[in-house]
């Protein structure tokens, strides 16, 4: 049987039976704190009707202003360290998976849920809420959904959006370009506000990072090393001669064992790996 409601006049809020109920209850309490009601005053004669009408009008205007402004009533920060993968469950039931060296902020608004991704990569499994859409902002691009699963990756002013389930809409593009709509199995790259063309993607390969794997399929060495660098604190320097960085790498490697990949490099491409005392690594053309 469901729990009995609190006694009338007790002032106790009803017990939340769902994560969304708990979030809404917290929202109501936060709004009460921000906009406290004035103490009641005894009405005087014929002013009761006029005062009641004025109060209703003020309440309607204030409510409309709040809904239009859509203020944030709570924010929270989440981050992962280099080499760490972290899961976060939000109050509405949505889940986030943060890849290595990722930082983001979540803001709870009256009519929306907003995430600002400042760096790294995250997967978003969004709890459906038609009246409260979920939005991710990254380097000017805005990804808007109601309920779906998708990845967003940010590197400086470059953003990559990959959809695994449901549909997303990417806004905030340069020159007022029309929003781009993505379906499952599609990826969109946005650089400095300019979007490319949606392209098909292998969702299993795209999600390999969640299992702690790095997957390369004829990936240029310079790009593969940049990906490995995301999981290492000490720098990797490519001493490119104009050709080495273009050699391709294929294979599946463990993100937690990047040293293994570096040790194997001379067998894959014509390179030598030089480890320095400070932990950094130089990758240079092999000696002839």
What pLDDT digit, counting tens, does each position of 169-221 carry? Answer: 998 788 788 899 999 999 999 998 889 999 999 998 899 999 999 999 999 99
pLDDT at 64: 43
162 pLDDT above the threshold of 90? yes
pLDDT digits 0-9 by tens, 111-157: 899 999 999 999 999 999 878 899 999 998 999 997 899 999 999 99
pLDDT at 20: 52
126-133 contacts, C-beta under 8 A, 24 or more apart: 126/94, 126/166, 127/19, 127/20, 127/90, 127/92, 127/93, 127/94, 129/20, 129/92, 132/92
Separation in Å, CA 250 to CA 5, 78, 192, 264 = 61, 33, 29, 12
16 pLDDT above the threshold of 50? no
Contact predicate 196/167, CB 8 Å: no
Task: For the chain, report the end-to-end CA distance as a whole number of angstroms.
Answer: 79
Q: Which of 3-7, 65-69, 92-96 has the highest mean pLDDT?
A: 92-96
State whether the Cα torsion 28-32-35-38 is positive or negative.
Answer: positive
Query: Cβ of 278: how many Cβ atoms within 10 Å?
Result: 7
pLDDT at 72: 79
pLDDT digits 0-9 by tens, 25-69: 665 665 556 545 445 545 555 555 455 555 454 444 444 444 444
Contacts of 261 (CB under 8 A, 6+ apart): 214, 228, 253
More confident residue, 241 or 182: 182
pLDDT at 34: 53
Contact predicate 174/191, CB 8 Å: no
More confident residue, 66 or 97: 97
pLDDT at 61: 43
Average pLDDT over every residue of 161-172: 93
pLDDT at 93: 95
Please tell me the distance from the alpha carbon of residue 69 to that of residue 67, in angstroms, as a whole number. Answer: 6
Separation in Å, CA 87 to CA 84, 99, 123, 241, 245 = 10, 9, 9, 41, 34
- Report DSSP letters for 146-157, one per residue: SS-EEEEEEETT
Largest CA distance in the chain: 103
More confident residue, 140 or 12: 140
13 pLDDT above the threshold of 80? no
- The pTM assigned to this predicted structure is 0.75
- What does the buried/exposed string (b/e) look like for 81-101 if buried means 16 or more CB atoms within 10 Å of the residue's CB? eeeebeebebbbbbebbbbbb
Best CA proximity match to 162, nearest among 129, 134, 190, 128: 190
Average pLDDT over every residue of 261-288: 95
Domains and CATH numbers, the chain: 72-204 (2.60.120.1440), 212-285 (3.55.50.30)
Which range, of 21-25, 215-219, 226-230, 280-284, averages the lowest pLDDT? Answer: 21-25
Task: Report residue 19's pLDDT band, with 50, 70 and 90 as the boundaries.
Answer: low
Mean predicted lDDT score pLDDT of the chain: 83
Residues constituting the chain: 288
């Amino acid at each position: 049987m469901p729990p009995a409601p609190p006694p009338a006049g007790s002032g106790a809020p009803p017990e939340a039976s769902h994560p969304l109920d708990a979030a809404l209850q917290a929202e109501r309490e936060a709004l009460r704190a921000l906009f406290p009601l004035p103490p009641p005053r005894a009405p005087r004669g014929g002013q009761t009707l006029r005062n009641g009408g004025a109060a209703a009008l003020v309440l309607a205007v204030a409510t409309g202003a709040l809904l239009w402004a859509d203020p944030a009533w709570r924010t929270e920060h989440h981050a992962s360290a280099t080499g760490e993968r972290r899961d976060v469950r939000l109050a509405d039931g949505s889940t986030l998976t943060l890849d290595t060296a990722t930082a983001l902020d979540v803001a709870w608004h009256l009519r929306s849920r907003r995430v600002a991704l400042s760096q790294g990569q995250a997967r978003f499994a969004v709890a459906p809420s038609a009246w409260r859409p979920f939005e991710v902002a990254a380097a000017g691009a805005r990804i808007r959904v109601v309920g779906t699963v998708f990845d967003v990756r940010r590197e400086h002013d470059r953003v990559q959006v990959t959809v695994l389930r449901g549909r997303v809409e990417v806004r905030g593009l340069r020159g007022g370009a029309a929003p781009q709509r993505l379906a499952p199995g599609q990826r969109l790259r946005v650089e400095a506000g300019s979007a490319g063309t949606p392209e098909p993607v292998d969702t299993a390969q795209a999600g390999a990072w969640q299992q702690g794997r790095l997957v390369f399929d004829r990936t240029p060495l310079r790009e593969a090393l940049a990906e490995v660098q995301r999981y290492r604190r000490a720098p990797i320097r490519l001493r490119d001669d104009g050709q080495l960085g273009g050699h391709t790498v294929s294979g599946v490697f463990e993100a937690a064992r990047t040293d293994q990949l570096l040790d194997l490099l001379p067998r894959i491409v014509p390179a030598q790996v030089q480890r320095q005392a400070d932990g950094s690594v130089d990758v240079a053309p092999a000696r002839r």
